Amino acid sequence: MRVIHFIKSIFSLIYSSQNPVDYAKRIGVSMGQDVHIYGSSRCMFGSEPWCVTIGNHVHITGDVVFITHDGGTLLYRHLVSDLEITKPIKIGSSLFQVGDDIRSVYCGVTNKASNQYAHE
């Protein structure tokens, strides 16, 4: 069983580096047309990749991380055992070089226009 897990991990690492856009789509990221990811997308979309939507004509560098959940809920798990805060991230169209000024994109963030972010 460990051998199979190891082989899948190696495959994911290679696949996400060689074809990051297809890998992102495979794990559940919704993407428009003409999306480019520079670098590996293996850890870019966190544990809820299906919460990330990316528009058309978007370029993303490999050091960006999309964070779709808030770990702060761990403080209150003793009160509410299934407490989770997970919200979608929506990146609009015609955005170039996400990553130069933005390293992390947090849950509930929506791109209204290029390089202008607002919380929903």
Whether 31 maps to a domain, the answer reads: yes
**The predicted structure's pLDDT at residue 113:** 46
Distance CA 94, CA 102 (A): 16
Reported as a single tens digit per residue, the pLDDT across 21-44 is 988 998 999 999 999 988 877 788
Whether residue 51 has pLDDT greater than 50: yes
**The predicted structure's pLDDT at residue 117:** 41
Beta bridge partners of 10: none
Whether 120 maps to a domain, the answer reads: no
The domain containing residue 92 runs over which residues?
A: 2-114
**Whether the model pTM is above 0.85:** no
Distance CA 106, CA 114 (A): 17
Whether 17 maps to a domain, the answer reads: yes
Whether 88 maps to a domain, the answer reads: yes
Consecutive H or E run containing 97: strand 95-98
Q: How confident is the model at residue 48 (pLDDT cuts 50, 70, 90)?
A: confident
Q: For the chain, what is the domain count?
A: 1
Structure token pair of residue 89: 């991230």
